[in-house]
Amino acid sequence: METFDAIITRRSCRKFKDKKISKELIEEILKAAMYAPSAYNEQPWQFIVIDDRKLLDEIPNIHPHANMCKTAPLAILVCADLTKELSENMYVLDCAAATQNIMLSAHDQNIGSVWVGIYFRKDHIEAFTKFLNLPKHIVPISLVPLGYPDEEIKKATRFKKDRIHYNSF
């Protein structure tokens, strides 16, 4: 898939087929995540691949907007590793860029995904920290459930010329 087409045709997917994603594809997707830009090239991320059905089924109980985990064969928890931080608080943006790379590279492989927000919600951060027994320096930023789509992914129309400003607002 061409890069531009991947960006324009990606949409959130919240219903997945009962079909596993191969380890090779998971690693390819995580490779894309690790090529995201980061402040000072700090690459502060750690990725937790959740493919245990019991854990996936539990997630909607700790996050009110993560019901899609019930059909997802896996979810990637994108975390910041504070020991790798070189520029204060930039890890949030770095991990957001990695999250987007996960979604676009998954889409390139016809795998659907959705971004489930964790950061900046204290309750969500605490819930995932407790759920996976994360050490203090590992901060969950986003969760990306992934799988082969079991719903129609509609195209969006979003281009708005009035949002573009040249040289001043």
Residue ranges binding ligand FMN (CB under 6 A): 11-12, 14, 65, 114-117, 156
Q: CB-wise, 38 or 113, nearer to ligand FMN?
A: 113
CB of 67 to ligand FMN, least distance (A): 8
Which residue of the chain is nearest ligand FMN when measured via CB?
Answer: 117
Q: CB-wise, 17 or 23, nearer to ligand FMN?
A: 17
CB of 91 to ligand FMN, least distance (A): 15
Q: CB-wise, 86 or 90, nearer to ligand FMN?
A: 90
CB of 14 to ligand FMN, least distance (A): 6
CB of 11 to ligand FMN, least distance (A): 4
Cβ atoms of residues 145 and 63 within 8 Å: no
Residue 142 CA to residue 60 CA, distance in Å, equals 14
